[in-house]
Amino acid sequence: MEVVIAEERTLAELAADAVERLLRTEAAPVLGLATGSSPLRIYDELTSRHTSDGLSFAHAQAFMLDEYVGIADDHPQRYRNVIDAQIAARVDFAPRAVHGPEGSAADLAAASAEYEEAIAEAGGIDLQILGIGTDGHIAFNEPGSSLASRTRVKTLTKQTRLDNARFFDGDVDQVPPLCLTQGLATIMEAKHLVLIATGGAKAEAVHQMIEGPVSAMWPATVLQMHPHVTVLIDDAAASRLQLADYYRHSYANKPDWQHL
């Protein structure tokens, strides 16, 4: 696990560099997209590279991490609509190249299985962008999630609904209680995981993820078992890390030839 501590703009540029490298070198790249506030600057940076430097997504596919269950199709906070507004509709993905779990399906178990199949058919995810919840969730794998979990229905914790109430007029009761989410084992199959976290509210979850014991209580700790994880954090999110100086030293002395 590589930990990079830098200011927000640099973090977004580093993540965009990794995505750009993939898009420019792979014939059929597959991206994993997170929703929420954390990746916004990355998506802005990618959009700007698309507009100014001709970075193309036309040959790529993308898979979202999660979706609320039972949210109206035209609700602005439906993750499908959020991801369209944040990145998908701002660049040149081919029609139907961006996939999301079908949160309005009549049979959610079947929709979950179909989503797993779609990821496999695409050849798996090359680079997965992740955020982290204050309770240590990745995608919507809340504390107690099986480390071997696959795409399925999950119940959001009160904490996550409180955290996300800011997107629903500050009203926690408007935040849907259920979601469809990629499982932890699904996420672990992506080749490269790039997690971005900023702000002091994430500091404890970031500390547990990097330095705590692997446990379903802090689901992001499963990333310690993945061979290629990049954690991009600002000073505030790094403020609880015991080995922050070591991570800073390692990154400052990283060989030029080594990418993220």
Tell me which residues touch ligand F6R (CB under 6 A). Answer: 34-38, 65-66, 131-133, 137-139
CB atoms within 10 A of CB 142: 21
74 carries an active-site annotation: no
CB closer to ligand F6R, 23 vs 130: 130
- The answer to whether 230 and 195 have CB atoms below 8 angstroms apart is yes
The tokens 């430097």 sit on which residue? 53
Q: Minimum Å distance from CB 113 to ligand F6R?
A: 20
Q: Out of 8, 66, 102, 234, which one is annotated catalytic?
A: 66
Rounded least distance, CB 146 to ligand F6R, Å: 17
Ordered DSSP codes for 135-188: TS-BTTB-TT--TT--SEEEEPPHHHHHHHGGGTTT-GGGS-SEEEE--HHHHH
Cβ partners under 8 Å of residue 162, min gap 6: 172
Whether 248 and 6 have beta carbons less than 8 Å apart is answered as no
CB nearer to ligand F6R: pick between 166 and 254: 166
Cβ neighbours for 47, distance < 8 A, ≥ 6 positions apart: 87, 90, 91
29 in Cβ contact with 59 (< 8 Å): yes
Q: Which of 126, 135, 163, 234 is catalytic?
A: 135
Q: Give catalytic status of residue 137 as yes or no.
A: yes
* Cα dihedral value 170, 64, 40, 53, nearest 10: -160
Taking CB atoms, the residue at the shortest distance from ligand F6R is 131
Confirm whether 135 is a catalytic residue.
yes
| Distance of alpha carbon 245 from alpha carbon 242, whole angstroms | 8
Least distance to ligand F6R, CB of residue 131, Å: 2
Tell me which H or E stretch contains 93: none
Least Å from the CB of residue 39 to ligand F6R = 7
> Does the active-site annotation cover 256?
no
Q: Tokens for 120, please give them.
A: 């496999």
Whichever of 29 and 39 has its CB closer to ligand F6R, that residue is 39
Catalytic residue among 137, 163, 192, 234: 137
**Closer CB to ligand F6R, 122 or 138, in the complex:** 138
CB closer to ligand F6R, 38 vs 145: 38
The least CB distance from residue 25 to ligand F6R, in Å, is: 26
Residues with catalytic roles: 66, 135, 137, 142
